[in-house]
C-alpha cells in the first residue's frame, strides 16, 4: 500500500468547526501546512487579528493555540482557489443548515454550500487530492460529491493527471469544550473505500490520538453515525426535560432523579442536566435531517419517533416561558426582567438556536423591559438574533456589560445560560436591589436553594418539585 504523505491541508470553512479543528491539527502536526479558507472576508480578517481577543470564536484554550501556530503552519485566507491548488487534502467544513425552501423545506439539510465547495475543488485541484467531509451531511452525500468531482474534473483542462478520493470524517466536538474534545477525542471516525487515503488521514490523527481510538467504517456508516450520535444526545436532553416537568408537579427533584438513574452504568451520569431546552446550530437541524431521510427511505414510523425529540424540546421552552408569564400575574408590560445568559450554553459566544432568543422575543412582544447580560455575546449579535422584534422594541431592551447593574429594580431574573459567574451570585445583595414582590427563575438549576433561604424574592427552578 502506497500511502500518500500529506504536506499541506486546505480547510474550506473558517467556522466553529473549521477554525478550532484545524488549529489543533496545525498544533500537533508542525510539518503540515494548514490553510483555512472562507468566503467571508470579515471572518478571515478577525482570525488574522493581532488582538487575540478579537478572533471570531470564543473557545477556552483556542487563542493560546492560535498564538502558537498562526502564520507558522496555520494560515487564514480568502484565496480559496490557490489554497485548494496547493493542497494534498481538502476538508469541507462549511455550514449545512436546514433547507428553507423547495423539497424538504424545514427538515432536509441544505447541502448547496457543500456542493459549491466540491465544484471549487473539482476545478482547482491538481494531482491526487483527498476530499474529507467534515461537515455534517445527509447519508450518501459522498456519492454526490464523487459524481460532481468525476464529471467536473474532466472539464478542467489542467486535470489530466487529476484524481480524487472522498472520505467521511465527522466532527464530534461540542462548543465550549472544543479544544479539549479535539485534543482528547473519545473516538475519531473515518469512513471510506480507499485504504491508502484512509491511512493518510489516520496518519495525521496518529500525531496525537491513540490508534485504538481511530475507527474506520464504510462511508455510509460514518455519515449516519454522526446524525445518530446527535439524535441520541438530544434524545437524552428531551427525556430528562420531560421528567423535569413531572418533578415539578409531583414534589420530586430532578437532580435527585438524575443521580439515581445516572448511577446505573447502562444509563451513565453525563448529559442529564434539565434546562430550557437544547439550543445550538446542530441538534435540531440534524434530527430534522434524520427524520427527513427516514421519510425519504420509506420509514415514516422511525421518522415520527425522532420528531418527538424536537417536539418535546419546543414544548419545554414554551412551557417555561408560559410559567414565567403566569407567575408574574399574567402581565409583564413595563416590568423589568433581567436575562442572565444569551448564548445557547456556557463557554461559547455562539447564539444559534439559543432558547434565550425565543424567550426574549416573546417577552418583548408582551411589553416587558429587558436587561440582557452575557459575558461573551456582543450587542451586535443580540441585535441580529432579536431581528425585527428587537428593532421595533429597541427602547425596551438593553445590553448590560456589568452583571451587577443588570438587576437594579428588576421584577424578575431569568437564568438562561449556566455561565460560571451566575453560580456565584451574591443573592442577598441582588435581592435588596430588586422590586418587591419579585421572582428568580432558574432554568439551569445552578442556584443552590439553601443559599437563598433568606432572600426576599420568590424562586422557581426547573425540575424542582416544591413549585406546585
Ligand atoms: P459555521 O457557519 O460556523 O462555518 C461555516 C463557514 O463556511 C462559514 O464561515 C461560511 O462563510 C463558510 N463557507 C460556506 N461556503 C463556503 C465556500 N464555498 N467557500 C468558502 N467558505 C465557505 O458552521 P460550523 O458551526 O463550523 O459548522 C460546519 C459544519 O460542521 C456543519 O455541517 C455542522 O453541522 C458541523 N458541525 C458543527 C459543530 C459545531 O459545534 N458547531 C460540531 C460538529 C459538526
Ligand atoms: C453537540 C454535541 O454534543 C457534539 O458532540 C456535536 O459534535 C455537536 O452538537 C454538533 O454536531 O454540532 P453542542 O451543540 O456544541 O454539541 O453542545 P452540547 O453540549 O451538546 O449542548 C447542546 C445543547 O444541549 C445546549 O443548549 C446545552 O445547554 C443543552 N444541554 C446539554 C442540556 O440542556 N443538558 C445537558 O445535559 C447537556
Q: Which of 234, 245, 275 to mutate to test the pocket of ligand 2 (most atoms within 8 A of CB)?
A: 275
Q: Identify the H or E element spanning 63.
A: helix 62-69
Backbone phi, then psi, for 180, in 5-degree steps?
A: -60, -45
The sheet with strand 214-217 has its strands ordered as: 74-77, 33-37, 8-12, 89-92, 128-133, 163-168, 188-191, 214-217
Distance 282 CA to ligand 2 centre (A): 8
- For residue 95, give the C-alpha cell: 455550514
Distance 436 CA to ligand 1 centre (A): 46
Task: From the candidates 11, 247, 282, 294, give the one annotated as an active-site residue.
Answer: 282
What are the pocket residues of ligand 2 if the criterion is a CB atom closer than 6 Å to any ligand atom?
A: 136, 171-175, 230, 233, 237, 271-273, 275, 278-280, 282-283, 344-345
Using the CB atoms, write b or e for 283-304: b if 16+ within 10 Å: bbbbbbbbbbbbbeeeeeeebe
- For residue 311, give the C-alpha cell: 417536539
- Cα–Cα distance measured from residue 289 to residue 98, given in angstroms and rounded to the nearest whole number: 7
CA 31 to chain centre: 30
- Whether omega before 437 lies within 30 degrees of 0, making that bond cis, reads yes
Distance 289 CA to ligand 1 centre (A): 16
Backbone phi, then psi, for 98, in 5-degree steps?
A: -70, 140
The minimum-distance atom of ligand 2 relative to the CA of 136 is 11
Which residue owns the Cα nearest ligand 1 atom 6?
Answer: 13
Which residue owns the Cα nearest ligand 2 atom 34?
Answer: 273
Q: Which ligand is nearest to the CA of 77?
A: 1
The minimum-distance atom of ligand 1 relative to the CA of 134 is 30
The sheet with strand 458-461 has its strands ordered as: 397-400, 369-373, 336-340, 412-415, 439-442, 458-461
| Of 87, 88, 140, 83, nearest in space to 114 by CA | 140
Which residue owns the Cα nearest ligand 2 atom 6?
Answer: 172
Distance 462 CA to ligand 2 centre (A): 18
> Is the CB of residue 171 below 6 angstroms from any atom belonging to ligand 1?
yes
**Alpha-carbon distances, residue 374 vs 148, 287, 321, 356, 414 (angstroms):** 44, 28, 19, 11, 12
Spell out the per-residue pLDDT of the chain, length 468, in tens.
678 899 999 999 999 999 999 999 999 999 999 999 999 999 999 999 999 999 999 999 999 999 999 999 999 999 999 999 999 999 999 999 999 999 999 999 999 999 999 999 999 999 999 999 999 999 999 999 999 998 877 565 554 568 999 999 999 999 999 999 999 999 999 999 999 999 999 999 999 999 999 999 999 999 999 999 999 999 999 999 999 999 999 999 999 999 999 999 999 999 999 999 999 999 999 999 999 999 999 999 999 999 999 999 999 999 999 999 999 999 999 999 999 999 999 999 999 999 999 999 999 999 999 999 999 999 999 999 999 999 999 999 999 999 999 999 999 999 999 999 999 999 999 999 999 999 999 999 999 999 998 899 999 999 998 754
Q: Is-catalytic flag, 282? A: yes
- Cα–Cα distance measured from residue 11 to residue 80, given in angstroms and rounded to the nearest whole number: 9
- Cα–Cα distance measured from residue 448 to residue 468, given in angstroms and rounded to the nearest whole number: 19
Alpha helices, DSSP H, located in 366-410? 379-392
Amino acid at each position: 500500500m502506497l500511502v500518500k504523505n500529506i504536506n499541506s491541508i486546505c480547510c474550506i470553512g473558517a467556522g466553529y468547526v473549521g477554525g478550532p479543528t484545524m488549529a489543533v491539527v496545525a498544533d500537533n502536526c508542525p510539518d503540515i501546512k494548514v490553510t483555512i479558507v472562507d468566503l467571508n472576508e470579515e471572518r478571515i480578517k478577525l482570525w488574522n487579528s493581532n488582538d487575540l481577543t478579537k478572533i471570531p470564536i470564543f473557545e477556552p484554550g483556542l487563542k493560546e493555540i492560535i498564538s502558537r501556530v498562526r502564520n507558522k503552519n496555520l494560515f487564514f485566507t480568502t484565496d480559496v482557489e490557490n489554497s485548494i491548488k496547493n493542497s494534498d487534502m481538502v476538508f469541507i467544513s462549511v455550514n449545512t443548515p436546514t433547507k428553507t425552501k423547495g423539497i424538504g423545506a424545514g427538515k432536509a439539510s441544505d447541502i448547496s454550500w457543500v456542493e459549491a465547495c466540491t465544484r471549487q475543488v473539482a476545478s482547482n485541484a491538481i494531482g491526487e487530492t483527498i476530499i474529507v467531509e467534515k461537515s455534517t451531511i445527509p447519508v450518501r452525500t459522498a456519492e454526490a460529491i464523487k459524481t460532481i468531482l468525476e464529471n467536473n474534473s474532466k472539464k478542467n483542462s489542467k486535470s489530466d493527471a487529476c484524481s480524487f478520493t472522498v472520505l467521511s470524517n465527522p466532527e464530534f466536538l461540542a462548543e465550549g469544550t472544543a479544544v479539549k474534545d479535539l485534543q482528547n477525542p473519545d473516538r475519531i471516525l473515518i469512513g471510506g473505500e480507499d485504504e491508502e487515503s484512509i491511512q493518510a488521514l489516520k496518519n495525521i490523527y496518529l500525531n496525537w490520538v491513540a490508534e485504538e481510538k481511530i475507527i474506520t467504517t464504510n462511508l455510509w456508516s460514518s455519515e449516519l453515525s454522526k446524525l445518530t450520535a446527535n439524535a441520541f444526545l438530544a434524545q437524552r436532553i428531551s427525556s430528562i426535560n420531560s421528567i423535569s416537568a413531572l418533578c415539578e408537579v409531583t414534589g420530586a427533584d430532578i437532580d435527585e432523579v438524575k443521580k439515581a438513574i445516572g448511577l446505573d452504568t447502562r444509563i451513565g451520569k453525563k448529559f442529564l442536566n434539565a434546562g430550557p431546552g437544547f439550543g445550538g446550530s446542530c441538534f435540531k437541524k440534524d434530527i430534522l435531517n434524520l427524520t427527513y431521510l427516514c421519510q425519504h427511505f420509506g420509514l415514516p414510523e422511525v421518522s415520527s419517533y425522532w420528531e418527538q425529540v424536537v417536539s418535546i424540546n419546543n414544548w419545554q421552552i414554551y412551557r417555561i416561558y408560559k410559567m414565567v408569564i403566569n407567575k408574574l400575574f399574567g402581565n409583564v408590560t413595563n416590568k423589568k426582567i433581567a436575562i442572565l445568559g444569551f448564548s445557547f450554553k456556557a463557554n461559547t459566544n455562539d447564539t444559534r438556536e439559543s432558547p434565550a432568543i425565543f424567550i426574549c422575543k416573546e417577552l418583548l412582544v408582551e411589553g416587558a423591559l429587558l436587561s440582557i447580560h452575557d459575558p461573551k455575546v456582543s450587542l451586535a449579535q443580540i441585535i441580529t438574533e432579536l431581528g425585527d422584534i428587537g428593532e421595533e422594541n429597541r427602547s425596551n431592551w438593553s445590553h448590560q456589560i456589568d452583571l451587577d447593574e443588570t438587576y437594579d429594580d428588576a421584577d424578575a431574573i431569568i437564568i438562561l445560560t449556566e455561565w460560571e459567574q451566575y453560580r456565584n451570585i451574591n443573592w442577598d445583595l441582588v435581592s435588596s436591589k430588586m422590586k418587591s414582590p419579585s421572582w428568580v427563575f432558574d432554568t439551569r438549576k445552578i442556584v443552590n436553594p439553601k443559599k437563598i433561604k433568606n432572600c426576599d424574592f420568590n424562586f422557581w427552578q426547573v425540575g424542582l418539585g416544591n413549585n406546585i
